Chain A
């Protein structure tokens, strides 16, 4: 396998990753451009970041976005983990087909449909558009992603530990919190992070369901982009990209390290035994 790392493979990887990363890199570089014209390099400057800090509308939008993200990701993680448990454990019950349909469909459903239909629900039941409408909309969208991530973790889970706990008389709910949850925790944490970034990212669904005082960052960025490319947008984008990149890389390093440590511990136990 290893010797077949041919030139073709290396070339396709280099070009593929260049295609993925060069546009983002350009965006980041031009956020430090002294010139107001995005495409003309006028020297290094951090003035756009300074201007961002003084733009109250953007700071407000960022604050709304973070709150929506944290609340909806937390709801979505609870609901999505429950949905994953149901799909993994209960193979047969009335309406399972409908349930799994409702869990998987939002993954591919065009956002314009999800956004519009939720808005019409809120209008029909007299629920005000705004902060909580966006939270509910994002929870509904992202719980499906959480369910998929957690389910993939559940599939690889060794059920004998749970069975042992149950056999020894541990109640099912306690078994879940003592045994199952710690074992699937990396999946649950990854699910939360995915839900948070999806919420941070969403423009379409938020636009349909937002109201006064609930302008999220993507809605704000979108209205700025409509007016043209400015270095200030590059600066916000760079901040968002770095926050997410650092978070994702840290999480993956942590989970990798805990995996390595676990393997080491297992090996030590094996050798000792």
Chain B
């Protein structure tokens, strides 16, 4: 009996526990919250704490309460043009900044992959290091630079490009948001690109050059297509979180910039309207489901 315990049952239990512990944690703290957010988005707003009328108390009165479901919060989202334009503008800002990130990140990743081998690890380290330092601090650093009386204005004034009374007005505009996003997300774009470019077989390019292919053409015919997995991974890694970005538009975009993460935050913290902010989150999630699934399939292949 005891032998059977150590030989069969114990390893089985260990195996089972290994799967069960992280699985249950994720179910409880990652998946279950989404069901709750869905539930609350379907309940009515109340001036109470928590500020909503619960739709489902327990499983018992689930059916009894089914009639209490309300789509009011979703209808509300379609009625106020604020939400509609916030979603659209988030998607637009995320798309434009992903393209900007690709344009800025590609040459850096390319340069890194072509650098002498002895240098490469240090370069990778140098790209990762800003990623480890606080996101908030990195965004904050740009406020002092972009402010009307900030460092860019001072620099341009001392160069004589701007008159002593002129100022640069980038802070609290969408341009500032683009700068902040490209700056903060650059490591997420550069690292997957670098991983793809580093694996590239240099003999292919040599063969192309020997056969008379000009370097620009061989870049588009060989290098870029072979780096596509990195391009795709980098773009998804940036695009999805940027759509829901809060800190950057809040600190750099001012009241002009409309983004859904900011709207959700305001709905929750300023208006204390939990059902509507849940509905905002559910719609955002629905918009992002397709890119997230594509990203995951990509991850699995990698």
Contacts and interface: CB of A to CB of B under 8 A. Distances in A.
Contacts of A21: 130
A102 interface: yes
A24 interface: yes
A86 B18 contact: yes
Contacts of B25: 79, 139-140, 143
B261 A100 contact: no
A90 to B, nearest CB: 7
Interface stretch (B60-68, B72-80, B81-89, B118-126): B118-126
B138 A16 contact: no
A20 interface: yes
A124 B151 CA distance: 48
B129 interface: yes
B135 interface: yes
Contacts of A162: none
Contacts of A83: 22, 26
Contact of B21 (A30, A82, A197, A249): A82
Query: Chain B CB within 10 Å — which of A82, A110, A137 has the most?
Result: A110
Contacts of B247: 203-204, 222
B217 interface: no
B30 A105 contact: yes
A1 B277 CA distance: 53
B129 A248 contact: yes
Interface in B3-31: 6, 10-11, 14-15, 18-19, 21-23, 25-31
Contacts of A80: 22
Contacts of A57: none
Interface residues of A, number: 87
B261 A110 contact: yes
Nearest to B54: A124
B216 to A, nearest CB: 11
Contacts of B145: 23, 26
Contacts of A16: 104, 107-108, 111, 186, 190
Interface in B80-133: 104, 107-108, 110-112, 114-116, 121, 123, 125-130, 132-133
Interface stretch (A7-15, A43-51, A181-189, A262-270): A7-15
B241 A111 contact: yes
A208 B268 CA distance: 9
Contacts of B6: 171
B265 interface: yes
Chain A facing B: main interface SS: helix
Contact of A9 (B114, B132, B134): B114
A245 B129 contact: yes
Interface residues of B, number: 90
Chain B facing A: main interface SS: helix
A38 B149 CA distance: 10
A103 interface: yes
B75 to A, nearest CB: 20
Nearest to A19: B183
B202 A218 contact: no
A52 to B, nearest CB: 14
Given A27-B140, A79-B22, A5 B116 contact: yes
Interface string B17-57: 01101110111111111101100100000000010000000
Interface string A78-119: 011011011000100101001111111111111111101110
Contacts of A13: 108, 111-112, 115, 123
A23 B281 contact: no
Contacts of A171: 6, 10-11
B149 A39 contact: yes
Contacts of B296: 100-101, 104-105
B301 interface: no
Interface stretch (B158-166, B224-232, B284-292): B284-292
19 contacts: A16-B111, A23-B183, A80-B22, A83-B26, A86-B18, A86-B22, A100-B296, A103-B26, A104-B299, A105-B30, A109-B244, A110-B245, A113-B285, A117-B281, A120-B278, A197-B133, A203-B247, A233-B140, A237-B141
Interface of B: 6, 10-11, 14-15, 18-19, 21-23, 25-34, 36-37, 40, 50, 104, 107-108, 110-112, 114-116, 121, 123, 125-130, 132-138, 140-145, 147, 149-151, 154, 183, 186, 190, 202, 236-237, 240-241, 243-247, 251, 261, 264-265, 268-269, 274, 277-278, 281, 284-285, 288, 292, 295-296, 299-300
Interface of A: 1-2, 4-6, 8-10, 12-13, 16-17, 19-21, 23-24, 26-27, 30, 38-39, 79-80, 82-83, 85-86, 90, 93, 95, 98-114, 116-118, 120-121, 123-124, 136-137, 139-140, 143, 147, 171-173, 194, 197, 200-201, 203-204, 207-208, 218, 221-222, 225, 229, 233, 237, 240-241, 244-245, 248-249, 252, 256
